[in-house]
Amino acid sequence: MAGRVVDGDGRPVAHQLVEVWQANAGGRYIHKRDQHPAPLDPNFTGTGRFLTGADGSYSFQSIKPGPYPWKNHRNAWRPSHIHFSLFGTDFTQRMVTQMYFPGDPLFALDPIFQSITDADARARLVAVYDHDLTTPEWSTGYRWDIVLTGSHRTWMDAEDDA
């Protein structure tokens, strides 16, 4: 996974604190409230933290999270996604969003993804497969940029959009 954090004018946001969390490949979080019967992976915590580079770049290696049931409606499953939290210069400046993987068949059934009525804004939440980031016989690579402000801003979770 790699990308850049930029402002609304495309300028890099250097040294931005970014936290990520995600389910494991079986769709399970290491959290006491997650009662999904998928097995936990003792070698995977599902969390990470890093600073962007001087050019706003970031990269990390992880596993592709699995979809998981969430009981929002009958047979409800969340698409595979990674949560991103970015902190500004003050503790009160925080952006929380989700990055999705291309082609997920669960997009049409996910009320969170579908709550974004602007198709372009939804598309900006989906990473792009990047063959240059792919490591032969090891991992596939995805690129996803985060735009903090402006008309092409990355969508934030509704509860954090205050």
The C-alpha atoms of residue 57 and residue 80 are separated, in whole angstroms, by: 23
Q: How far is CA 114 from the centre of its chain?
A: 16
Domain span at 130: 2-160
Q: What's the CATH number where 32 sits? A: 2.60.130.10
Instruction: Please tell me the total count of domains within the chain.
Output: 1
Q: List the catalytic residue out of 4, 28, 83, 124.
A: 83
Two structure tokens written together for 28: 């399970």
- What pLDDT digit, counting tens, does each position of 25-68 carry? 999 999 888 888 899 999 999 999 999 999 999 999 999 999 99
Decide if 83 is catalytic: yes
Residue 162 has pLDDT above 60, yes or no: no
Which pLDDT band, with edges at 50, 70 and 90, does 157 fall under?
Answer: low
pLDDT score for 35? 85
Which residue, chain included where needed, has tokens 């998981």? 68
Decide if 94 is catalytic: no
Give pTM, 2 decimals. Answer: 0.91
In 3D, which of 46, 20, 50, 23 has the Cα closest to residue 34? 23
The C-alpha atoms of residue 107 and residue 17 are separated, in whole angstroms, by: 28
Which residue, chain included where needed, has tokens 């990047």? 130
- What pLDDT digit, counting tens, does each position of 56-75 carry? 999 999 999 999 998 888 88
Q: Where are the beta strands (DSSP E) in 67-123?
A: 68-69, 77-78, 81-87, 94-100
Q: List the catalytic residue out of 58, 68, 100, 142.
A: 68
Which pLDDT band, with edges at 50, 70 and 90, does 161 fall under?
Answer: very low
Backbone angles phi, psi at 135, to 5 degrees: -100, 120
Residue 160 has pLDDT above 60, yes or no: no
Q: List the catalytic residue out of 29, 58, 100, 142.
A: 29
Which residues are CB-contacts of 33 (< 8 A; sequence separation ≥ 6)?
none
Residue 146 has pLDDT above 50, yes or no: yes
Decide if 29 is catalytic: yes
pLDDT score for 156? 74
**Average pLDDT in the 96-113 region?**
95
Instruction: Report helix, strand or coil for 69.
Output: strand
Decide if 81 is catalytic: yes
